[in-house]
Structure 1
Amino acid sequence: MSNCTVIPVPALQDNYMYLIIDNDSKKAAVIDPVDVDAIQKAAHDNHATITTILTTHNHWDHSGGNIKLVKTLSTIDRVYGGVGDGVPGCTHEVGEGDTFTIGNSTHVKVLFTPCHTPGHVCYYIDNAHVFTGDTMFISGCGNFNTGTPRQMTEAFDKLLGLPDDTNVWVGHEYTAKNCAFACFCEPNNQDLKGRQKWAEGQGSLHNGGKGTVPSTIKMEKKCNPFARIDELSVMEFCGQCEDRNERMRLVRKGKDDWGRRA
């Protein structure tokens, strides 16, 4: 059973930061703190003390508040980031399988998921929550940038190997648009059609709506084309290509091409 409380905090146009509060100690970690004022307010409102920063990757919209937050709060003594990712203010570089705790009893395991950036990591917490940054989105995935389709396939395989009821907390509110492409990719996927309608009704937490986080691993297996590259419907979208990594590339290319038309 999880011993932490997760609070999503919207930032910028569509980013998500997260406050993770250890329920025993009220000590907290923050995921990807780009908006320092907003995350401090969330901590204050929830009577939590921020001691730790967990950074999924080095892009400014995920790590841009690290140094300012450390300078502002003397309680922060650890800033985590992936090995070789050049995360601003990083004090602890971490890689696959590394573990540590937040407060007294909130346990964190690192999943190394390079592709979007060379040292991108996801954080698996209390065997209940995974924070995926810009690797997995709800019904989508991040741009490969300098990474490879194989890397993204391996990252998704790792995430999809987590228990089905794992909560998936993503780095951006892209769900409605991702579902629209996913329906284009799999027009007969009834689960996905329901998910798209639901996402459109939820709106964005950034604009007064409810938002769509968290998803679950089970839901991504049903509604994320990048998680479904071995399904017949996605294979058909990819022209019956037999290579899994090439199918990942083709779905990503399909999303990019569709986005330019949408």
Structure 2
Amino acid sequence: MGGLSVELIPALRDNYIYLVRDLETNTTAVVDPAESAPVVEALSRRGWTLDLILNTHHHGDHTGGNADLKSRYGARLIGPAAEKRRIAGMDETVAEGDTVTIGASVGRVLETPGHTSGHIVYHFADSAILFAGDTLFVLGCGRLFEGTPEDMWSSLSKLLPMPDETLVYCGHEYTVANARFAVTVDPLNRALESRAREVEDMRARLEPTIPTTMGQERATNPFLRPDDPGIRHALDMVDAETVAVFAEIRARKDAF
């Protein structure tokens, strides 16, 4: 049976690294290795080697393990062409519309600038999996370190059409803080209210809130809902441009 299996590896303070295995070929990849030690431990525990490293962007908490993992396993490093000068040792660079393969599984690259200028995500449609890096979070989105609200809204708009069942694996466990903010701008959303309670309970049990799904995010993530009348009313922006509403949500979250 084909497809991908994904294991979450907690790292640093709130990062997730993803160990990804193609079930048809046993090809193994890691997405955004913040550090190498927990990846080495996970591989050793299973008797696996590492074939590929996929980076979504250049930040050190997503690339810190690259060099050691390349040295240990001879893994190929793939990352965004637009950040070639900022990620050392890349063997292959990819851009919008390119594909990457993990064994028999094929993923499509989408450029999603906003958090960084060259950020990309990897969408494995046949496995219904999106590795979103720091573009889309559970109930949130990435800070705009190198882009504008227009950039980020355009990037998120590329993800919006993905099927409801698409599993979203993002870079950080920010969900409780995101939920506490989300209810302030979308106070009448009963699905969000329920979900906020659910994620608080999950984290109290030390359970990861990831993966989420695109269906859940469309229903409850305010950063994907700037057209929603309830959010617009709460922000007193009923007739505003969509990107202006998005920018206001992002600004409020930054100050929350």
Question: What TM-score bracket applies, with the shorter chain setting the length?
Answer: over 0.9
Correspondences of 1:1-262 after superposition (within 5 Å): 3-74=3-74, 76=75, 78-85=76-83, 86-103=86-103, 105-127=104-126, 128-203=128-203, 209-240=206-237, 241-258=239-256
Give the SS at the match of 1:181: helix
TM-score w.r.t. length of structure 2 = 0.94
The one-letter code of the counterpart of 2:30 is V
Runs of 4+ with >6 A deviation: none
The one-letter code of the counterpart of 1:250 is E
Structure 1 residue runs of 5 or longer lacking an equivalent are none
What is the distance in 2 between the residues matched to 1:4 and 1:126? 11
The one-letter code of the counterpart of 2:158 is K
The one-letter code of the counterpart of 1:107 is V
Superimposed CA distance per residue, residues 190-243 of structure 1 (whole angstroms, 9 cap, x where no aligned partner): 111111111111117xxx721101100000011100000110112123322521
What is the distance in 2 between the residues matched to 1:155 and 1:46? 36
Give the SS at the match of 1:226: helix
The 1:15–1:84 alpha-carbon spacing in structure 2 relative to 1, beyond 3 Å, is same
Please provide the CA RMSD for this pair. Answer: 1.5
Superimposed CA distance per residue, residues 45-86 of structure 1 (whole angstroms, 9 cap, x where no aligned partner): 334321111001000000111112111212x1x211112212
Check whether the contact 2:82–2:95 (CA below 8 A) recurs between aligned residues.
no
Superimposed CA distance per residue, residues 91-111 of structure 1 (whole angstroms, 9 cap, x where no aligned partner): 2111111112112x1111111
What is the distance in 2 between the residues matched to 1:257 and 1:179? 15
Identity of aligned residues (%): 37
The one-letter code of the counterpart of 1:187 is P
What is the distance in 1 between the residues matched to 2:132 and 2:66? 18
Superimposed CA distance per residue, residues 158-217 of structure 1 (whole angstroms, 9 cap, x where no aligned partner): 11111111001110000011001001111111111111111111117xxx7211011000
Give the SS at the match of 1:195: helix
TM-score w.r.t. length of structure 1 = 0.92
The one-letter code of the counterpart of 1:111 is L
Superimposed CA distance per residue, residues 8-54 of structure 1 (whole angstroms, 9 cap, x where no aligned partner): 11000100100110112211110001221101222233343211110
Structure 2 residue runs of 5 or longer lacking an equivalent are none
